[in-house]
Structure formats: structure tokens, C-alpha cells
Amino acid sequence: MSKNLINNYRMGGYLLIAIGLINLRYQTGMSGVVGNSLIVIIPGALLLLSTWLSGFAQVSNARATKLFTLVVGLALVAFAILN
């Protein structure tokens, strides 16, 4: 398992957490902002935490996992930006 691949997953997790927190800060006062931010923050935190699990290293190398993570991550980024 490549350390670069795990680092890419970690950076994706950090990205989602950061975008969610930025979304929370800049939309303060709007209705539903906490829920919308948590939609982005929670998957980011789960992705980040999963990179330290030994079983994730085996699963994350599969092409389907890479594609799924990329699609979901891009969808969450788009959701945070457009929301």
C-alpha cells in the first residue's frame, strides 16, 4: 500500500472538514447552516479517521473505492460551494 494514496485520502478528509467549517462560519445566521455544514464535515471526519485503520489500507486500494471516494468527495465539495 502506497503512503501517497493514504495521504491523498487524508488530504481529502481535511479538505472536506475545512470546507464545512468555512461554510459554517460564512453562512452564520442562515437557516439550516449547521445541518448543511455537518453534511460535509462528518464524511470528511470519517474519511480522515478511517485512514488510521489497518483494514482501510486494503480496501482503499481497490479501483471502485477510489472512484466512489472521488465522486462522493466532489459532490460534497459542490454541495458546500453551491449551498
- pTM: predicted TM-score of the whole model, two decimal places: 0.88
The span from the CA of 37 to the CA of 16, in Å, is 10
DSSP 22-44: HHHHHTTTSTTHHHHHHHHHHHH
* pLDDT, tens digit (0-9, with 9 covering 90-100), for 20-68: 999 988 887 778 889 989 999 999 999 999 999 888 878 888 899 999 9
What pLDDT was estimated at residue 1?
52
Nearest CA to 19 among 43, 45, 40?
A: 40
Q: Is the pLDDT of residue 10 over 60?
A: yes
- The amino acid occupying position 42 is I
The span from the CA of 55 to the CA of 52, in Å, is 9
Q: Is the pLDDT of residue 74 over 80?
A: yes
Selected residue with higher pLDDT from 12 and 56: 12
